[in-house]
Amino acid sequence: MREAVGDILFWLKTSGLRIGVIAAGSILLIRFLRAVADRIPRLMPAGQELVVTEGEKRAHTVASLLRTVGTTLVVIVAVMMVLREIGLDITPLIAGAGVAGLAIGFGAQSLIKDVIAGFFILLEDQFHVGDVIQAAGVSGQVEQMTLRMTIVRDLQGTVHFIPNGEIKVASNLTKEWSRVVLEIGVRYEEDVDRVIAVLTEVGRSLAEDEGFGKMVLEPPQVLGVEALTDSQVTIRILVKTLPLRQWEVAREFRRRIKARFDREGIRTPYPHRVVITRPAATGGN
């Protein structure tokens, strides 16, 4: 009995103590990695007012990866060290893991595909956390990225988990700058040159506005007549804006156009129908 107690005490003083140190060190290292991840975005220089710079987006992406990948690696290494301290020979375990990994690899090709695709998304700087993208048939703002998947929240608040291997084409709507494309329709009876002049004035007033002018990078461009359809003349306008601000600018631009058209008496087309009646045929003798 005394020998058993002595063995236990000896184990606690040696391997047990080392296991405790490994566990404590792992916890401290994980907390350190998370603290570094939280601090990385704050180390980036602040961008302009109302805009998140590409550097800040990249910092948030790196921080997200550091939390997930770093924590996973620390846990794996800690488990291996604990198994060795318990007395298990981890050499066959590592060799078996390699063989099992090869076997699993054939059955988990989609997982490997997702990880490789995620690596190249980060390497090629395609998008970051905070960008609005269209990918795999969904669109929304990127909330989190890992090597395996991209998490996107759409306008309705629905969260989509997209495996990176499923992203064939990724459309980034907010990389460095964004653009508003407006197509304004007016009736054929309106003077097109006058309408273009009015739209140009409205665009200039928007660019010079104290609030919205900060979101507009270049004066709005009225390109001219884009199309002649059955019931309207379509005029196209382009506005270059800060990232993520194109929708806000577009709504304000439409509001100002509607108010100005009302004052100027410029009418926009609306659905109408022309009914032609004919007198009923009468039989004659």
Task: Report the alpha-carbon distance of residue 185 to residue 233 in Å, rounded.
Answer: 5
Residue-level pLDDT at 265: 94
pLDDT tens digits along 134-173: 999 999 999 988 888 999 999 999 999 999 999 999 999 9
CATH class of 2-107: mainly alpha
Residue 23's Cα: distance from chain center in Å? 36
pLDDT tens digits along 237-257: 999 999 999 999 999 999 999
pLDDT tens digits along 171-183: 999 988 999 999 9
Q: In the chain, helix, strand, coil percent, each to 5? A: 50, 20, 30
Q: Please report, for the chain, the start and end positions of each structural domain, with discontinuous segments joined by +.
A: 2-107, 178-264
The CATH fold of domain 178-264: Alpha-Beta Plaits (3.30.70)
